[in-house]
Structures are given as structure tokens and as C-alpha cells.
Structure 1
């Protein structure tokens, strides 16, 4: 495995660049090398007499020792320098990985997400303000963008904010905080809200002028913990720590056991704690009752609406992307089915929400409304399929396809090891063409699909296993994949009961089709029962019985339902989400090579 990146973290710089970079150079020489420096809190000076230091670096007379990123875009000179940088030719277009100020110095503007030496980094630049200043404050659009990013799969490694999250100092479940600081001054309830949604492994903040490394805390609906680190300002009189080094392995290459690991001092999430006693300075902010300042945004909907005013005109990203929102009628944002329909037709969310998209030509989505009268068949084959396939994980022509996972390639289908497999030999059967589900391919292609399924059945038998096949057909899906998961022979008879019981718990009943253990007949039955108008889930049991369910537009149906049921059957509930079962590329390659050797004599393409 590659060496984890080594990152230096710094609090408010306040224009003291010479002092900062002298210290960084010293640390880099004695304990480095380090890959990057990240600065949170106010980056620019409080007084104009420090502008000369910045000019030395901007004009090239002094050198920034290592790549440095900052989000605190406020202070004396910020508007002047950042306006000039924004106009530079190298900084045109939509750039989330930093606008270049000078060699090795980058401004993280607004909000965004980028990859830093394998680490997934999310940031919110500036601080909360009602003044609408062009620099140094974040906007509602920046918040909405982060909420959208929080919906994306994968674990965020670093979350960067200038101000601390309100509630992080809740005493109910953490050790003594540094003296002289409270939850209120220099804290931001919006940051708390975003932290609970993004669930980063590390949350880094400045502005309070003290160093504070909180015990790790657990997250709701996530298996990994979060570590909060607050940093002091450069050159502070109390000699508080303003530089801190970390060397985290990127979550994307961590094993499930590593992701799941919880240190002995792990606490509950500070944002899940309701304090019984409010701090005096917080009481005027509170709604009636005993909900802490960090938490009242969850409950005080009328006050929030009154404060934000126009938010109700904006679209709710969760509802638009998934069809459901846990806040329901209490959500401050609009739940619009027409917008959701356009989103499912590949129209850009920012375009739907704001009428424009800053990504411009770099955006992978449509910046025009889809034709309402477009037929299902025409949507299936329209020309922008080619554009979508460029960013598709499953298209063999895509630069994003992970070709090392491929096991066998036929004329219409190929087999690949599942990313984040539930167990060893968890296989996907995937159409080569960019199609939304296997039933959207021509019926004659079923012949090859059936050959793959029969070959897998024979192979798994030699391993002492049966196999369960299932497919989640999303009405406007992207690229189909039929999942094949082996289960022990001893558990084969229990599969049907497990699926039926799970269905009852979330409020639906499966339709049952009996194919007489004939795979060809099973495909014909599926084509008869699937009309293409609704989303559809089906599972083929070891004895050939098919359970199916048509999913209504507003129905809540778990995205990983099939996997979660089988994980429960195998007593592996902690592996129900593929994102927490990722393997290193090296381990994936070993699994693929082992499968190929064992499967070779069964492979229908050999």
C-alpha cells in the first residue's frame, strides 16, 4: 500500500506569512517531507502594515515552501488580491481544487470538494454573515452545494471550515475544553448542520484562537468516527499550537475493518446531545424548551423559515435526487416532482434551482429542460448517452472504469468483481452497452446473460454454495448491473423468508413468479411483468423462484435493499453498505486473479 499523505494543518494566519512559512520550512526539514499545508480561519492580516509580506510571495521574491491551501478569504487586502487572482487566465472556469494566487499558494473559493493526494477534501470558505460581502463570507448556494456533495457515495476525509461548529463543546460527552471559550463565540450552527450531513473523518476549524483536539465521536448512520481539531492563530501570545500534522490513509483505499475501527475514547456525536442547561449568552437565540443552540435548527422550523425568507423557493436536493426527504413537510426547501423528473432526465440541479450553473461546459449534465413529450424508447437511445458513458463506472470505454475488476467479457455482457464486495466472489453481470437495466436490452441478448448465470451457478456449486441474483431497476437509471452473491447451501432454503420478512417491515408485499427453475422462462416472466413505467426490484432465488416489486414514484425503497437482506441472512449487517467494504486496489487484483483461475473452466467466453 502507498504511504499515506502527510498534511500540515494551520489556524488563523492573520497575514503573518513569514513567521508561518519559516516554521513550516523548519518542520518540513526536521520531520518531513509534508505534501501540503492547509490553513483555516482568517488568512489575511488585520492591519495594512502586513501587506508587504504577502506582496513578497505574490510577486515571487519569496517562495511558499510547500503547496498551501487556504479558506479564510477575509481581512485587510483580501478583496484586492483575490479579485486580481480571479481574473487570471489560469483561474478561469469552474475550479474546486483552488485558484492560484502565486506559486504553491491556492485559494479555496466558496465551497467544494477535491482530491488531495488521495484524500477527499470538502471545504466551506469564509464565515457566516448577513452583509453579502463579495469576499470572506459564504452564500446559501455554497451551503446547498455541500448538501449536494453530502449525498454522493464515499467517505469524506477532511472537512475544512473557518468557524467551529456550534455544539462541539457539549460537556455531556467530552473532556474539559480549553478555558475561556464557549460554544457561542466564533461558532456557527450551519457548520454543525453540514458536519452532521457530510460526516467527515476529520473536521478542521480556526477562529477561536486556541488548540483543541476533541475525542473522536461516532456519526449517525455511518460506521466511521469523526475527529475535530481546532487550531490557534499563528504567533499567538499564549503559545497555543497553531500547526498540527496528520497522516491519514485515504478512506477510498481503507479496508472495512479500518473504516469501522472506533478508538476506546470514542464518544457520542456532540450534535445528538440535547443540553438541559443553556449558556446565558445563548438563551436569546433559543426557541422555547431545552434544545441546545447547536440543535435548534432541527426543530425550530417556523423561526428558521422566518430568518431565511426565500429558502422555500429553492429546491430540496435530497427530494430532487432521491424522491424522499426525512424532513417532510418541515423542510424549508421545495419538494417539486416536475423538477425531480427533469433531474432524472439528466438536467443539472444547479440549472433547475438557480437557472444557471457555474461549471459551464465542465458540467456533465444538461443545461436545458428535457422534452416532456420524449418517449421512453427515445430517451433510452438519445445521443447524450455517449456523453454520460464518459463518466460511467461501468462503461468499458469510460476513463473511470476500473478495468482491474473485470473477470470475463462476452459480446453483450461482461462480469466484474463488485466494488466493496459483500463477500468473496460477489460478482456483477453488466451490459457492455450503456443501458439502464438488463430488461432494456434486446430479448436475444438474454441468451448470453443466461450462459453467464448458469456458469456462475455451476461454479458456486463447486464451492459449496448456491447463488442469489437481484437487480434494482431505477426508472431513469444509468448503467445496469445484475448482482450475483453466493450463499452457503445450508442457508438457501431461508432466502425467500428473509426477503418476504424484510418487505413486510418496510410495508410492501412481493409478487411471486415460479419459473420451474428454468432460467430462460424466468427472463420471459420478468419481461412480461416489467412495463418500464415504474422502478422495479426483483430477486431470483436458488430454486428459480422470482420475487418482484414495482416501486411507486413516492415510495421509499432502500437503495441497497437486496444487499442488506443477504447481509442479514449471513449475519454480516455491518457489511450492508458497499462503501464501507472497499478494498485496496492490490487486494482487489488478488481477488480477481483468484476468481479467474477458479472460474476458468466454467467461463462461457473461454
Structure 2
């Protein structure tokens, strides 16, 4: 197959008429192209230009080519993007862009996705201390990219708004644009990231000039990187703002093809930039230690040091997933205490730096003491258990209505003791769990409904819960197909376990679980079980089961439980109603 053909664009700044007219012309004369990737400021400089933007956002004018942008700042950005973020189609984990309208997608935060076979990473927004939700990136966004860089595979394209500091180092001086300043529109964080990510193409805007640097070699990698900086659309000096590339995806190339180096290849421009950044980070850390009440977070002696590194920074990959593919070679800290705090909802940036620049706009906790005082919500012995949601209690497990339920009778089956999952629980718990399942099936059948059970068996989960969600009987035949379709979109296939009943099905399920890998399983109406073992580096949505059933029930806006939270009074009413109607089926009555 022919390599994909991609158009690259510098800051649109709201000049969408001129941009899309040019795209249409280029596409007609030298196309067809597969997509347009925009870097730099996408929105207008002032509100005077909003009408032109609105015509495209509202669909009164067509966008001729699949378009992605990362420059989420400028006039009108907050209004357009906040509205898009609330739409049901954009809820959940979407690295491949939030849809603004047909052919227009916003790449939010940071991430990695595949575009016509090309591996694309991006960092949206610019560096800022304002803590704004839109138009700036956070430390979490940066560390997420660092974690992605550790995963296997070569990145084809890296998109940033600002240029990296030091890109002119070791470059041919004759090619450097005259009068250009290193300080304006450049970012040292980008330099660090691009040195770690090692993309084949790095595309940036925001500096107002066009510059295509000679290819340069990367440390610990065979392939070269090409940097392309693009000018703004409609710039007065008529510098190049649109550029075409047609790279063969690295995933389809042989090692020999990937390692080919053009004759004008230079050494990496970021070798001494990294040294300067490390020195600056150490100096900044020392200052923070003297001024920050959370200075103890920097005390290396209180952390689990690995790899012989001298840094106190936490490994985002380890904190977020519990493991790091670099192992002892990782230069960041693998801190189990920080991992536990993160699972309790503490902000990674706060854990890493002792403070979070986003302040109140961050929805994570900024207090270690607060997190430690929170005991497990689901242990019956905990003073913080939400006892008003409990509907039935047995010897080894109990039932409770879900907080933020997808549907009215959304039930959880949970162990009384603190167990990480239901598959490694003792036999007496298993027997009681199956009784609860049978009772719920009978109860919902009496109401012309079937029930779907699913569990996300995450190895680091604090307290097991098997979710039970009723669906109309006439939708039962579609459950298997929609789960398989969702799996296909995520790039995996379910293993299917067939049995005559839940007890037999769970016996087969336990045989597949060795405790070394996380897994997701769903028991369909009729006792068939779909199972997926989640690999160590695999990105798997924590709310996958709920999101799929929300789609089946045409309730996409309820895919996130936080959108469904109820007042305690309303929760109590739902529990009382359920207990009354479930009473004759309850195995503990």
C-alpha cells in the first residue's frame, strides 16, 4: 500500500477561510491527502474574527479534509472546547481526538494514536503557570508522554505548539532564519521530551517562521529525526505555512530502512540542552525544598531508589500502572508509597513536586494526610463505608447499589473483607457470590430484564467489586456483538468461555487467571463469558464495561459515573425501593 499523505499546517489563528481554501487547492492539484495536522494557535487573536470560526464550528461551512489541532488557545477557545468536552460522544478516554464537528478534532492534553498506520504523539497547549484548563499543558501531560515514550515502537510524528530550545545547535547556520530568537516561542520542556520520544518527524508552530532542520541522530536509536517549524497562516512575509509529508509507517519498515541516514545528518542538538535542564531542575528542586512545606517529598532517603539515579522525581509509568518496562535502568523513582497515594486520588504533580500549579482547577487531592485518612469505601469495617447504599449482607459478601448508577438498579457484589478481586477469593465467598448472581438474575427476569455482570480485575485494585447492570430483554442478543465491536476498536479480541451456568463459568474463568496480569471479563446473559487478559503496557480504559453498556442503552452521557451522582436523599430512596422489591429474591432474607 502507498504511504499515507499528510498535510502539516502552522498557526491558523482563526484564518480558516484562507487555510481551507489552500488545503482544497493543494488536495485537488497534488492530492489526495489523508489528513491535516495543525500546530500553533488554532483560534483567532481577537473576538473580531470569531464569526469566521463559528461558521466552521457550527457546520455552515465545510471542512475539506480530516483535520486535527493542538493549539487550543485564542479567542473563543474556552467556549468552543468546553462545549465539546461535555458532549456525550467525547466522554471517556479519547487519545485520538475530541470531535468538534465533522472532519475537525481537538487533540486534548497529551497522547498517542494511530493515523493511517502512522504513530502520532502530541502535547496540546503551551507551557504556562496559569493553571488554565485550556491552552496550557500540565506536568501530568508531560509525564504521560514520558511513559508513552517507554513503550515499544517508533513514533512517526510528534506535534507541539512551541519549538524546542536548542534546535539550532549543530545545525547549518546558513539555513537558520535571520533575526530569529531562541527565547521567544521556544520551550526547554519540549527539548527534553523530543530527546526521550525520538520521533521521526517533529512538527511545531508558534514562532512565526518556516524552518526545516537537517535530520539529526538520536541517542540510543537507529533512526533520525526531522524537525519542521511552520509559519502562521496568512503571515505577512509569505513564509511557508503548509507542508506535505508522506512517510512510510515505522511499524511496516525493516530495521535497515529505519536506520538509513541522509548525507546531511547531524548529531542530536539536544545533548547539552539536557545537561542544562538537569542542572536547572536540581537548582529549582533545592529552592523548592527550602520554601515548600511538603519538602519531605524530595528526600531521596525516604523513597525506594532504583537504577542508581540521583533524582528524586517519580516515575509516572510506575506510579500510574504499578510497573515500569525500564526496570532497574529507569532514572526515576519507583516509589510504592507514592503509588498508593496516587490510587487514593492524590495529584501526581503534587506528589512529584510538592505542589500543583493548576491549583483549584485540578480535580485531584493536594494533601497526603487527606488521602491517608481515607479508608476503603467498601470495607464494612471502615468508618467511611457508605452504608446507606447497602441492600443485602451475607456471611462473606454483600450487595450495594452503585454510586453514580448507570441505570436505576445498578448493583455491586462486594466481599466483606478487603479482597483485591473476586477471582482470587476463598471458596466460601465464591459460593455466596454465585447465589447473589442467581438471585439477581431471577429478580430482573421477573421484570423482563436480563443482567450483565463484569469485573475489571486490576492487580492493584483496592477492593473487589462485581458489577451487575440490568438491560431490557430485547437488547440481550446485542450485548455480545457490541462488546466484540468495542474490543475490535481497541485492537484486541475476547477469549470466549462457554458454560451451562455461572458456577461452571466462574470455575473456567478462575483457571485463566494466574494473578500475574490484569484482566477484564463480562458474563453475558446465558452464562457465556468474554475474557481479555491485559498486557503490562496495554492501555485499557478503567470504565470499559460501563462505557460499552452505556452505548448499548443509548446513554453515552452516563458513561462516566461522575455525571450520574445523586444526592444522598435520592440514593436512600432508590435503596429502599430496591430492597422492597428484591426482598423475596434476597438469599439473606
Q: TM-score range by the shorter chain?
A: 0.5 to 0.7
2:47 is matched with which residue? Answer: 48
1:65 is matched with which residue? Answer: 64
Change (3 A) 1:175 1:327: farther
2:110 is matched with which residue? Answer: 111
Post-superposition shift, 1:271?
0.3
Output the aligned Cα RMSD.
4.2
2:371 is matched with which residue? Answer: none
Change (3 A) 1:302 1:264: same
Q: Which of the residues 267, 270, 279 maps onto 1:299? A: 279
2:207 is matched with which residue? Answer: 208
1: CA distance between counterparts of 2:284 and 2:252?
40
Post-superposition shift, 1:435?
5.1
Given the alignment of the two structures, is residue 237 of structure 1 paired with residue 236 of structure 2, yes or no? yes
* Preserved contact between residue 63 and residue 104 of structure 2 (Cα < 8 Å): yes
Post-superposition shift, 1:387?
8.1
1:191 is matched with which residue? Answer: 190
1:255 is matched with which residue? Answer: 254
Change (3 A) 1:185 1:272: same
1: CA distance between counterparts of 2:270 and 2:344?
29
2:550 is matched with which residue? Answer: none
* Preserved contact between residue 127 and residue 137 of structure 1 (Cα < 8 Å): yes
1:182 is matched with which residue? Answer: 181
Post-superposition shift, 1:257?
1.2
2:24 is matched with which residue? Answer: 25
Post-superposition shift, 1:151?
1.2
After superposition, the C-alpha distances for 1:122-157 in whole angstroms (9 at most, x for unaligned) are 100010111112211111111111111111111111
* Preserved contact between residue 419 and residue 425 of structure 2 (Cα < 8 Å): no
Given the alignment of the two structures, is residue 228 of structure 1 paired with residue 208 of structure 2, yes or no? no
2: CA distance between counterparts of 1:349 and 1:247?
45
Change (3 A) 1:79 1:352: closer
Change (3 A) 1:178 1:14: same
Change (3 A) 1:75 1:353: closer
Change (3 A) 1:229 1:337: same
1:520 is matched with which residue? Answer: none
1:567 is matched with which residue? Answer: none
Change (3 A) 1:51 1:373: closer
Corresponding residue SS for 1:299: helix
1:597 is matched with which residue? Answer: none
Length, aligned pairs only = 371
After superposition, the C-alpha distances for 1:181-220 in whole angstroms (9 at most, x for unaligned) are 1322110000011101111111000011111111111111
Q: Which runs of 5+ in 1 are unaligned?
A: 274-291, 362-367, 404-431, 438-475, 480-606
2: CA distance between counterparts of 1:180 and 1:53?
32
TM-score where L is the length of structure 1: 0.54
Given the alignment of the two structures, is residue 87 of structure 1 paired with residue 67 of structure 2, yes or no? no
* Preserved contact between residue 380 and residue 435 of structure 1 (Cα < 8 Å): no
* Preserved contact between residue 170 and residue 266 of structure 2 (Cα < 8 Å): no
2: CA distance between counterparts of 1:319 and 1:148?
9
Post-superposition shift, 1:173?
6.5
After superposition, the C-alpha distances for 1:398-436 in whole angstroms (9 at most, x for unaligned) are 963799xxxxxxxxxxxxxxxxxxxxxxxxxxxx95658
Change (3 A) 1:384 1:55: closer
* Preserved contact between residue 58 and residue 102 of structure 1 (Cα < 8 Å): yes
* Preserved contact between residue 14 and residue 45 of structure 1 (Cα < 8 Å): yes
Change (3 A) 1:298 1:35: same
Post-superposition shift, 1:300?
3.3
Change (3 A) 1:401 1:339: farther
* Preserved contact between residue 173 and residue 267 of structure 1 (Cα < 8 Å): no
2: CA distance between counterparts of 1:100 and 1:18?
20
1: CA distance between counterparts of 2:195 and 2:52?
38
Change (3 A) 1:172 1:87: closer
Corresponding residue SS for 1:120: strand
1:120 is matched with which residue? Answer: 119
2: CA distance between counterparts of 1:36 and 1:265?
29
2: CA distance between counterparts of 1:229 and 1:127?
18
TM-score where L is the length of structure 2: 0.55
1:457 is matched with which residue? Answer: none
After superposition, the C-alpha distances for 1:568-601 in whole angstroms (9 at most, x for unaligned) are xxxxxxxxxxxxxxxxxxxxxxxxxxxxxxxxxx
* Preserved contact between residue 144 and residue 317 of structure 2 (Cα < 8 Å): no
Change (3 A) 1:44 1:307: farther
Post-superposition shift, 1:34?
0.6
1: CA distance between counterparts of 2:336 and 2:48?
55
Change (3 A) 1:211 1:387: same
1:264 is matched with which residue? Answer: 263
Q: Which runs of 5+ in 2 are unaligned?
A: 299-312, 352-362, 365-403, 406-413, 431-453, 460-482, 496-510, 517-532, 537-589
1:400 is matched with which residue? Answer: 492
1:138 is matched with which residue? Answer: 137
Post-superposition shift, 1:67?
0.8
Corresponding residue SS for 1:245: strand
Corresponding residue SS for 1:37: strand
Corresponding residue SS for 2:270: helix
2:565 is matched with which residue? Answer: none
1: CA distance between counterparts of 2:172 and 2:254?
28
Post-superposition shift, 1:224?
1.0
2:549 is matched with which residue? Answer: none
Corresponding residue SS for 2:51: helix
Corresponding residue SS for 1:300: helix
2: CA distance between counterparts of 1:143 and 1:399?
25
2: CA distance between counterparts of 1:336 and 1:267?
38
1:529 is matched with which residue? Answer: none
2: CA distance between counterparts of 1:14 and 1:50?
9
2: CA distance between counterparts of 1:74 and 1:39?
13
Corresponding residue SS for 1:115: strand
1:569 is matched with which residue? Answer: none
Post-superposition shift, 1:386?
7.5
